[in-house]
Amino acid sequence: MSLWDDLLITLPDGDVLQVQIGLHWTAVVVELEGKRACGLASTLSAVHEHHGEPDVPEAGHLEDLPVLELAALVRSKKSTMVSVGMAAINALLPHQPKAWVDQNAEELIARQGDGKRVALVGHFPFVPRLRTQVGELIVLENNPNAGDLPASAALDIIPSAEVVAITGMTLLNNTFEDILALCKSQSQIIVLGPSTPLSPILFDYGVKWLCGSVVTDIDPVIRAVGQGANFRQVHRAGVCLVCMSRGGFA
């Protein structure tokens, strides 16, 4: 059983209402028990070719697919379809406001990383601020910015980190479980980013905190996604940032 096996079997059935694959973000809108819900995922782009296999084989007909089949596209070999699958999963996951707190990942990492060695997998805009709030911050990134280390340095860095914060993008590119395997048993593991599924299933894999996004105003978010919005714009359109803890926030 893989993480996707464990996660997909927990999802409720429903109807697909809309699929929007934007420049930076993908959104899926579903109907569950008469109510609409929307999920987001970062759009993984493929190299564009005028002639060749399409990146979205069922383009124009994705809304016709059963919703659980749409969610299962997270296992696709086509990167854009993986994004569709993740957005569908995030749309289907139940809203659990009693299990969340309105908090962004930067605040959580700063609190947990006070005086500690923090490994952050993925470069986020808050990195310059976070460097001043934790004991030591090491950023691992596929496309390193100034001050970052390449992702290939993970083997040397992650086993010694007291706090490991992992971008939800690693779930999309299938590196998540490899990174988890490098974490020492007592490390505090955080998964963050708008693509992160807010599912307690991830706690079974050793994750302690999930920091993701909840779409609160569907129509403006869909419009923004479809017009190439970055996450700051999507956030303003109607997204709330929340954190969910394995042990609760009491």
Residue 143: give its domain's CATH number. Answer: 3.40.50.11590
Q: What is the mean pLDDT of residues 38-45?
A: 94
Same domain, 11 and 81: yes
Query: What pLDDT sits at residue 240?
Result: 96
Asked whether residue 224 is assigned to any structural domain, the reply reads no
The larger pLDDT score, comparing residue 97 to residue 139, is at 139
The DSSP-derived string for 152-212 is GGHHHHGGG-SEEEEETHHHHTT-HHHHHHHS-TT-EEEEESTT----GGGGGGT--EEEE
Query: How many structural domains does the chain have?
Result: 2
What's the pLDDT at 250? 42
pLDDT digits (tens, 9 = 90+) for 54-78: 888 888 999 999 999 999 999 999 9
Comparing 46 with 221, which gets the higher pLDDT? 221
Q: Is residue 233 part of a domain?
A: no
CATH (domain of 27): 3.30.390.100
Mapped onto helix, strand or coil, the DSSP state of residue 217 is: coil
Q: Which pLDDT band, with edges at 50, 70 and 90, does 46 fall under?
A: low
How would residue 53 be classed by pLDDT, with cut points 50, 70 and 90?
Answer: confident
Q: Are residues 50 and 111 in the same domain?
A: no
Percent of the chain past pLDDT 90, that is, above it, reads 86
Other CB atoms within 10 A of residue 56 CB: 16
122/67 same-domain check: no
Domain that holds residue 151: 98-213+239-245
Measured from the Cβ of residue 185, the count of other Cβ atoms closer than 10 Å reads 5
218 inside domain: no
